[in-house]
Amino acid sequence: MRRRRTFVRLGTAVATGFLIAIAAVSVAFAADYSLNLRPLPRAILLLAAAFAAGWLASVAVGRWLGIAESETDLALIVERRHGLNGDLVAALQFQHDEAASWGSPQLERAVVEHVDDVTPEIDPFAGFAWKPLPARWGWLALSAGTIAIVALLYPAHTGVFLRRLALADVSYPTRTQIASLSINGQAVSIAETTILRAPAGLPLMFATTHAGERPRSGTVVLKSDAGATTEVSLKPSADSDAFSGTLAAFDEPLTFVVKLGDAATRPRKIEQVPQPVVTLDLVPTPPAYARANAPPAPPAGVRTAYVLEGSSVGVTVHSVNKPLQDVKLVLAQSRDRRADDSSDIAGRDNRSPAVAALSLQPSPDRMIWTLTPKSTPFETISEPLNFAIEVFDDDRLSLSEPLAGSIRLRADRPPRVTATAVVRRVLPTARPELSYAASDDFGVRDVMAKMTVRRADGSQTEHSVALPVERESPSEVAGRQALDFSSLQLAKGDQVVVTVMAEDVRGDRNGETANAEPLTFEVTDRQGLLTGLLEADEEGAERLDAIIRRELGIGAQR
């Protein structure tokens, strides 16, 4: 009888313990599945469930395991069931060795003999029941069977739940899966939970693709640190599996969750990062010949420099608010060799595709980045250049638009030349005096008189005479020079066309040449020379008479 009652108690305790464990696991699964808890909250949930299950087991199971029945306890149970009025308990006690000292031996024998007489009629198992053992094990079998069926029907969910019990950071299967996510065109890992960064004040553009069942729509739920919630609708693309939506302005740190159908990402923090702010300095160095009269460098921040051909230009980028990770100058070339002041400052109208990307070198604090002109197109400027500055900071953020700049060629004008002569009719051996003047912004290299002899018979010859220049590369030259016609073998009727030419200084390059108005000398004899003088006197007299008449008002129109 004792073994049966002990078996019932132990069996009931075991079944009760398993039922409590199954209930705790089921509650934990329901809470975890519905709330999609992260590892830390999930660990707290599991600890709470384990504590509750342990407390409940200590109460419900302990009441079965805490019972210890002696022979006297069993005898009392039999007496109550058979109405023996304590004789069975007394008979058991009189069997102890110390019973001889308790009192009358006759009473002891009488009680024992009475019990022996009624023993054949006593059924110790009368009234014994197996309850609640069958019911508990029935509920246990039903619960375990239900769990087994659910596990077989949803093996993926079961596997994920077992891994989540071990605090693995995995998600339950969904009909729709978020395949990819990008913010402002940058791919974002769905599995990671690190803090993201995005430029402050600019829109946040969310784009996601899916696998599995196609959802009708999606949302991005954004929550600020103050608790304000904003939702951005994700609209499907007509020709792909992509969904996209835009937050108009990113003004404060946010925590966001992307929801697509029944799928959702883990909460992710996104913080504001200021965009890099930079300024551009262009430092032209004119050619050596032009440095004395070079114009001042453009002010800091001016992104267009006008330079002479052959100049070099240094480029410096200053970061105003943060160190930079990389700075590149993306070079493009203009189709037009020269640009006037009305051209676009960024050179966009004449820009061809980018032809080079030049890396700038940083200062130790990475706040100043410099392009050394040597071995770059900026070493010797020979044509207009258009370029853009692209910068990246430590967060790989860049400017909203590249910083555009340009180099324009400032024309080095050719020299200015004049020449005069007092007489234009000369004898074949004359030495007419030529007055000349030349000037240039950066210096005159040499001045020359080219004499073209046109013979009466139609033939033509050329001769050149160098005119004196007082010093090396003067900005202005002026002088008089007698031209010796005696070596030209002239005859009456010939013409000598004298053209004064000046070449300016342009360093190692060939200078530009400019010509004065040609002077034509008529070759004649003495008679012709006198006739010319008379004609000149008559012309002078007529001009003087016209001046007098004009001053006196004579011969005015009527």
Provide the pLDDT for residue 292.
73
End residue of a domain, out of 353, 379, 409 = 409
What's the average model confidence in pLDDT over 380-386?
Answer: 89
Residues 428 and 481 in one domain: yes
- The answer to whether position 208 is within a domain reads yes
Provide the pLDDT for residue 468.
87
Residues 445 and 373 in one domain: no
End residue of a domain, out of 391, 409, 427 = 409
The range of the structural domain enclosing residue 549 comes to 529-558
* Integer angstrom CA distances of residue 414 from 221, 294, 336, 475, 514: 69, 16, 20, 12, 6
* Integer angstrom CA distances of residue 85 from 71, 120, 352: 16, 17, 118
Residues 291 and 397 in one domain: yes
Residues 302 and 375 in one domain: yes
Backbone dihedral angles phi then psi of residue 367, each to the nearest 5 degrees = -100, -20
Query: What is the tens place of the pLDDT at every residue in 250-292?
Result: 888 999 999 998 888 888 999 888 888 899 999 898 888 777 7
* Integer angstrom CA distances of residue 159 from 164, 170, 179: 9, 10, 21
pTM of the full structure: 0.52
Fill in the amino acid letter for 461.
T
CB 467 within 8 A of CB 447: yes
Residues 331 and 421 in one domain: no
Provide the pLDDT for residue 341.
39
What's the average model confidence in pLDDT over 344-369?
Answer: 68
Residues 296 and 381 in one domain: yes
Residues 424 and 457 in one domain: yes
Tokens of 492: 């009456």
pLDDT greater at residue 32 or residue 105: 32
Residues 56 and 79 in one domain: yes
- By three-state DSSP, how is residue 492 classified? coil
> Whose CA is closest to 157, among 305, 32, 322, 314?
32
Residues 467 and 353 in one domain: no
Tokens of 351: 């820009």
Residues 6 and 145 in one domain: yes
Q: What total of structural domains would you count in the chain?
A: 5
At 450, the pLDDT band (50, 70, 90 cuts) reads very high
Query: What is the tens place of the pLDDT at every residue in 527-552?
Result: 777 776 666 666 666 666 777 677 66
Residues 315 and 243 in one domain: no
DSSP assigned state of 209: E
Residues 245 and 331 in one domain: no
- Whether the per-residue pLDDT at 487 is higher than 80: the answer is yes
Q: In whole angstroms, what is the distance from residue 551 CA to residue 558 CA? A: 17
% of the chain with per-residue pLDDT over 70:
77
Provide the pLDDT for residue 334.
46
- The answer to whether position 392 is within a domain reads yes
